[in-house]
Amino acid sequence: MKRGLISLITILSLFLVIVGCTSTTTTSKPGTFVGGTNGLDLSFISEEPPDRVLDDNQDLFYITVAIENKGEFDIPANKIIGSLSGIDKDSFQISSMDIKLNRDLPGVSKSRDKVIMGGEDELEFGQAKYKYDLNADFTATLRADVCYSYETKAVASICLKKNSAAQRDKEDVCPINNANVDLEVSGAPIQIASVDQRPSGSDAVRLTFDVVKKTTTGEVFAPDTFSNNCRAQEQKKNIVEVEVNSAKSSIPISCGTLGNSNKGNTKLADNKKTINCVIKTSGLQEIAFKTPINIEVRYFYKDAISKTLIVEDANK
């Protein structure tokens, strides 16, 4: 009995060790992308800043924002920018209220059926210390805004043939008229949805899709908005750059919403914009075929976190 009990305990111990040895990968559903609506996740590092500090240069503390890339875009160096507000720079003796991350921050990725989690890093604003001698406690709300360059990538599997208006032949493997085009979209705050294709005369296909802001927090701005600080520029709010192209360069695409080009800026209204494109088919084969159409959306995303900070009168 003792030997059997020891064997059982050994097996259980080995099982717990195996279960406990987790990595940064998880099992993924089939598909090109992991998906989701996440971008950067923000939080203050514990005690940076603390809830309370003393006045009159008596408490040195730090301000640090933890960032984790939970979407599928690799953010380049210097494209994550943090800015502090809600407190006086001179009173707290902060060297700079603005900071850039000078390193790349990889996004979530897939390797076969495994998901590799995105990168983590920190925006370090450095040390602070409240300068003045107070007569009573003082409460401030410290806010950290973080702006980051991001992209959404999507692949729509559309059906094309030379005479787009012709009746479907037996050899045609797919329909030209399709209100539910197969779509793969990367994980990002801005999503592509409702891809629809219809014949447009006998030599073209009309492709329609929605660009949608899916998150309830944060704001989207044009891709050239932020460079040195993360302070809103209202004239560039809700603007994104959209590009539609095919790996087969002989397939011409023009989008009226993008100035009759396949690439251009457009403005979201109520968190959405419908893009209409025309794909010319006169130079294509007679029999229908499926082909991938790439849709890319580029933008800056701005999010924020805040914390109450109490400066205490040390003489109380």
Domain-embedded: residue 15: no
Interior CA angle at 111 toward 146 and 25, to 5°?
A: 65
Domain-embedded: residue 9: no
Domain-embedded: residue 14: no
- The whole-angstrom separation of Cα 64 and Cα 69 is 16
Clarify whether residues 79 and 131 are in a common domain: yes
Clarify whether residues 77 and 180 are in a common domain: no
Clarify whether residues 298 and 154 are in a common domain: yes
Q: List, in sequence order, every residue forming a beta bridge with 292; answer none if it has no partner.
A: 157
Domain with residue 105: its CATH number is 2.60.40.10
Clarify whether residues 307 and 198 are in a common domain: no
Q: What is the pTM of this model?
A: 0.88
Q: Token digits for 175?
A: 């329909």
**What is the residue type of 62?**
Y
- The whole-angstrom separation of Cα 271 and Cα 186 is 18
Clarify whether residues 165 and 240 are in a common domain: yes
Sheet strands (E) in 106-261: 109-111, 114-116, 120-128, 138-160, 182-185, 190-199, 204-213, 219-221, 239-246, 253-255
Report the domain count for the chain: 2
Q: What is the dihedral sign for C-alpha 163, 166, 171, 174?
A: positive
What percentage of the chain reaches a pLDDT higher than 90?
Answer: 83
Clarify whether residues 154 and 69 are in a common domain: no
Q: What is the pLDDT of residues 146-158, one digit of tens each?
A: 999 999 999 999 9
* Enclosing H/E stretch for 11: helix 2-20
- The whole-angstrom separation of Cα 231 and Cα 258 is 27
**Greatest CA separation for the chain:** 89
Clarify whether residues 132 and 166 are in a common domain: no
Clarify whether residues 196 and 257 are in a common domain: yes
- The whole-angstrom separation of Cα 293 and Cα 253 is 10
Clarify whether residues 154 and 264 are in a common domain: yes
* Enclosing H/E stretch for 274: strand 272-280
Interior CA angle at 282 toward 279 and 284, to 5°?
A: 85
Domain-embedded: residue 12: no
Clarify whether residues 117 and 162 are in a common domain: no
Domain-embedded: residue 18: no
Domain-embedded: residue 2: no
Q: Note the residue count of the chain.
A: 316
Closest listed residue to residue 300, CA positions, set 106, 118, 75: 75
| pLDDT grade for 7, boundaries at 50, 70 and 90 | very low
Residue 47 zone, left/alpha/beta (φ > 0; ψ -120 to 50; rest): left
Distance, C-alpha 240 to centroid of its chain: 13
- For residue 31, the model assigns a pLDDT of 72
Whether 20 shows a pLDDT value over 70: the answer reads no
Clarify whether residues 284 and 192 are in a common domain: yes
Domain-embedded: residue 6: no
Q: What is the pLDDT of residues 30-85, one digit of tens each?
A: 578 999 999 999 999 999 999 999 999 999 999 999 999 999 999 999 999 999 99
Domain-embedded: residue 3: no
Clarify whether residues 172 and 258 are in a common domain: yes
Domain interval for residue 48: 24-149+303-312
Contacts of 12 (CB under 8 A, 6+ apart): none
Q: What is the pLDDT of residues 187-231, one digit of tens each?
A: 999 999 999 999 999 999 999 999 999 998 999 999 999 999 999
